[in-house]
Amino acid sequence: MQQPRRWFITGASTGFGRVLARRAVAQGDKVVGTVRSAALVDELAVEGIIGVLLDVTDRARIQPAIDEAIAAMGGIDVLVNNAGYGLMGAIEAFDETAIRDQMEANFFGTLNVTRAALPDMRGHGGTIVFILSMAGVVGMAGAGAYCASKFAMEGLAEALSAELAVFGIKVMIVEPSSFRTDFHGRSMHTTPVVLDEYRGTQAGDVNDLLVNYRNNEAGDPEKGISVIMDALNADEMPLRLPLGADAVHAIEAKHRKLLAELETWKAAAIATAVDR
Q: Which residues are catalytic?
A: 146
Alpha-carbon distance of 102 to 57, in angstroms, equals: 10
Q: Are strands 78-81 and 6-9 parallel, antiparallel or unpaired?
A: parallel
> Could you tell me the CA-to-CA distances from 31 to 45, 65, 128, 151, 272 in Å, in that order?
10, 13, 14, 28, 53
Closest CA to 141 of 185, 201, 218: 201
Alpha-carbon distance of 217 to 181, in angstroms, equals: 8
CB burial readout 63-97, b (16+ within 10 A) else e: eebbebbbeebebbbbbbbbbbbbbbbbbebbeee
Alpha-carbon distance of 16 to 18, in angstroms, equals: 6
Q: For residue 208, with 0-12 CB atoms within 10 Å meaning exposed, 13-18 middle and 19 or more buried, which class applies?
A: exposed
Please state the separation of Cα 139 from the chain's center in Å: 16
Residue partners of 260: CB distance under 8 A and separation at least 6: none
The three-class DSSP label of residue 1 is coil
